[in-house]
Amino acid sequence: MTNRMKLIWLTFITLSLPLLLTTASSTAQESSTAGELVQEEGWQLVRDNCTECHSSLIIVQNSGNREVWKSRIEWMQSSQGLGDLGPELEGSILDYLTSNYGQKTASRRQTLPTHLMPTTPNL
């Protein structure tokens, strides 16, 4: 390599290094916030009692009404070794889960009315 080439390489690397570093750190930040519990009232109870065996991601990707959440807790208690939470703690956890991860209303759009459907060619 000529000295001129070396200089060009050095300049290139020096200039691109900060760019590479910022890209790397912003990616790390994104992945650490993924799956985080919504920080509303009671979230610490869920963090402290519900993330010992699995990540919070499994919680935030679920939704349901109070009965659904209660049945998930009962299922974990009867088959996965989750201990008794006591009525007060369980109630607060259910409050948090149902108000932040409640039953979703239909997430799909309505189907198109027939007259707006495209015609299927070649049929």
Binding mask 1-20 toward ligand HEC (x if CB under 6 A, else -) reads --------------------
Tell me whether residue 8 or residue 48 sits nearer to ligand HEC (CB atom).
Answer: 48
Look at residues 112, 104, 115, 91 and name the one whose alpha carbon lies nearest to residue 42: 91
Alpha-carbon gap, residue 46 to 60, rounded angstroms: 11
Q: Is 47 helix (H, G, I), strand (E, B) or coil?
A: helix
Stretch that binds ligand HEC, among 8-16, 27-35, 53-61, 115-123 (CB under 6 A): 53-61
Look at residues 33, 37, 39 and name the one whose alpha carbon lies nearest to residue 60: 37
The correct pick among 2, 5, 26, 81 for binding ligand HEC (CB under 6 A) is 81
Stretch that binds ligand HEC, among 10-18, 27-35, 44-52, 106-114 (CB under 6 A): 44-52
If one asks whether residue 72 binds ligand HEC (CB under 6 A), the answer comes out as yes
Alpha-carbon gap, residue 101 to 64, rounded angstroms: 7
Is the Cβ–Cβ distance between 101 and 59 less than 8 Å?
A: yes
Residues in touch with ligand HEC (CB under 6 A)? 49-50, 52-54, 58-59, 62, 72-73, 76, 80-82, 93
